[in-house]
Structure 1
Amino acid sequence: MKTLIFDFDGVLMDSREAYVSSFAKVLTRNGFDVDEKKASAALLPSAPKTIEALVGRPDNFDELVAETRKHVAEKESGKIKICEGAGETIGALSKRFDLFLITNSSKAVFDKVIKKIPEAKMLAGIITSSDGFASKEDAINHVLKERGERPSGVYYVGDTMMDIETAKKVGCKSAIVYWKHSWDYGKLGEIKKMKPAAIVGSLEELENVLE
C-alpha cells in the first residue's frame, strides 16, 4: 500500500489551548512578559519556533523548550482533546494506506494523549520530536527512504502553512485540514495562496480527496 503521512497537533488532536497556556506560564516564570494572548498570536507548530518568535534566542533557549514540553506533558495534557473523526478516519484510511504520524510533540506528551485514540494501533509508524530528527522534513525523508517510495506520490496531511512548506521541501503533496482546531485557523486566505493539493473542512473529507 502507498504511504500517507499525518501531522498530529491540529489534525488528530486539538492541542492549541494546552500549548498556548504552557508557553505563557513557562516564559512568564522565567522572567518574560508573555501572556496567553501574546502566546496565541505567535503560535507556530513548533515549540522552538514559537519561543523564538516570542522572546528570541536567550542563553537558556534550549532549557525553555525542554521546560515547555515538560509542562505540557505534566500539567496541560488533560486539555488536549481528540479531533472529531480522528479514530474513524485512521481506521478507514488504514485500509488504503500505510499510515505514518510525524509530530513536533515530545514522546512524553504524545504517549499520554495517543491513548485517547484506540485506532492509533493501526498506524504503521510514529516519529516524535524525541526521536532526534532535526526537522519534519528529515523525518519524512527518512520514512520515504525506508519504504523506497517517491515523495511525489505521497500526501502529507497537516493544518498549517508550515506544513505546506514542509511538503514542498520534500516533494510531497499537501492536504490541509482547515477547521477550528487548526493552529493556522483564521488564515485560510494565506493558506489558499500557497496552493496545497487539497483543503478539507473535516477529517472525513480526506477519504474523497486522497489518491
Structure 2
Amino acid sequence: MMDGLKLVVFDWDGTLMDSADRIVSSFRGAMRDTGLPVLDEAEIRSIIGLGLPEALAALYPDVPLERRQQLALGYGQHYMGIDTTPVRPFDGAEALLEALAKRGLWLAVATGKSRRGLDRVLEETGLGRYFFATRCADETASKPDPLMLRELMFEAGAEPSASLMVGDTHFDLDMAGHAGVPSVGIVHGVHGREALAACSPLVIVEDLFELHDWLAQAHIHQPLNQDVSA
C-alpha cells in the first residue's frame, strides 16, 4: 500500500452505495406530499452529501423551519419504506473493502446520512463489519465541516498525512481539504469530474475497480501529498 497510509474514510451514498436515484425520488415524493414546489433532479443531486437539515435549507432557504422539518420526516418515510427505487452497493465495493482490510488499513465511513439510516443499511448489506468507526451528520457537524473526519482520525490515531478521504461530491473533498487530508474523487456518484477536480484531489477515478487498482498498484510509492490527478 501507500507508504504511511493508515486510515481510509469513505463517503457512503454515491461512493460505496448506488442510492442517488432513491434519494432523488424520495425527496420528490416528500415534496409533493408537503405541498412544496417539486424541484428537478439536478437541484436535488446538488445537495446530496449534506446533512438533511442543511440540504433542505439549501433547497428551500425561504421556507419556514417547521415546513422543512415536515419535509424531512416525509423524506425519511419515503426513503425507508414507501419508495422502492433499487439501492445496492456499487460493483466492487465489498471486494475493495476486504482487500484494504486484509492489508491492515483502518476503514471508516463519514456520511450525511442519519445514524438510523446508516446503521440500517450497514446491517442490510453486511458491510458494517469492515469499518472500525462511522460518523453521521446528525451526531456531529455536516460536511464540509471537517469535524467528523477529525473525530475519525483521532479515534484511529492517524495523522492527516496518513489518512485518505474517498468521495463522490465536492462536500466530501472540501471536508478533506479543511482537515488537511488527501482525497480521491469518484465520478460514479452525484458530482461530476469538473466539480471534483476543482477540489484538487490526488486522483479522480471512474469507479471502485479503478480505485482498487490505484491503491493497490499504480501509486504504491507515490507520496500522499503529491497530486497525481493530471
With structure 1 as the length reference, what TM-score do the two structures score? 0.85
Aligned counterpart for 1:71 among listed residues 60, 71, 78? 78
Percent of paired sites with the same residue: 26
Residue 48 of structure 1 corresponds to 53
**Local SS of the residue matching 1:24:** helix
After superposition, give the CA deviation of every residue in 1:190-211 in whole Å (9 maximum; x if it has no partner).
3223221111112122234335
Aligned to 1:198, which of 198, 203, 209? Answer: 203
Map of 2:228 onto structure 1: none
* 1:82 equivalent in alignment to 2:86: no
Would the alpha carbon gap of residues 107 and 79 (structure 1) be closer, same or farther in structure 2, given more than 3 Å must change? farther
Aligned-pair Cα RMSD in Å: 2.3
Matched, 1:59 2:65: yes
Q: Is residue 2:41 matched to residue 1:34? A: no
Q: Greater shift after overlay, 36-45 or 75-84?
A: 36-45
Deviations 1:87-137 (A, max 9, x none): 11111111221101111112332233223433431221122234x102242
**Contact persistence 1:72–1:109 (CA under 8 A):** no
Native 8 Å contact 1:12 1:83 kept in 2: yes
Q: Over residues 167-207 of structure 1, what are the superposed CA-to-partner deviations in whole Å (9 max), with x where a residue is unaligned? A: 0001101111112xx111xx312322322111111212223
Partners of 2:30 and 2:43 in 1: how far apart? 11
Q: How has the CA–CA distance of structure 1 residues 100 and 50 changed in structure 2, closer, same or farther, with 3 Å as cutoff?
A: same
Structure 2 unaligned blocks of 5 or more: 221-230
Deviations 1:61-92 (A, max 9, x none): 34433442343123237632211111111111
Cα distance in 2 for residues equivalent to 1:119 and 1:58: 38
Contact 1:20/1:39 (CA < 8 Å) preserved in 2? no
| d(CA) in 1 for partners of 2:130, 2:201 | 26
Q: Secondary structure at the match of 1:94?
A: helix
Paired AA for residue 14 in structure 2: G
Residues 49 and 111 in structure 2, CA contact (< 8 A), matched pair in contact too: no
Match of 1:121 in 2: 129
User: Which runs of no fewer than 5 residues in structure 1 stay unpaired?
Assistant: none
Aligned pairs for 1:105-144 (under 5 A) are 105-130=113-138, 132-136=139-143, 137-144=146-153
Change (3 A) 1:141 1:70: farther
CA separation of 1:100 and 1:42: change in aligned 2, threshold 3 A: closer
Show CA shifts across 1:1-54 (max 9, x none): 711101000011111111111111212222211145465464432233332232
Q: Aligned pair in 2 of structure 1 residues 37, 189: CA closer, same or farther (>3 Å)?
A: closer
Other-structure match for 1:145: 154
Q: What pairs with 1:9-24 in structure 2 (closer than 5 Å)?
A: 9-24=13-28
1:169 lines up with 2:175 in the alignment = no
| In the alignment, structure 1 residue 94 sits paired with structure 2 residue 101 | yes
**Distance (whole Å) between structure 1 residues aligned to residue 48 and residue 59 of structure 2:** 10
Aligned partner of 1:115: which letter? Answer: E
State whether residues 77 and 109 of structure 1, in contact with CA within 8 Å, keep that contact through their aligned partners in structure 2: no
Give the structure with the higher percent helix.
1
Q: For 1:93, give the aligned amino acid.
A: L
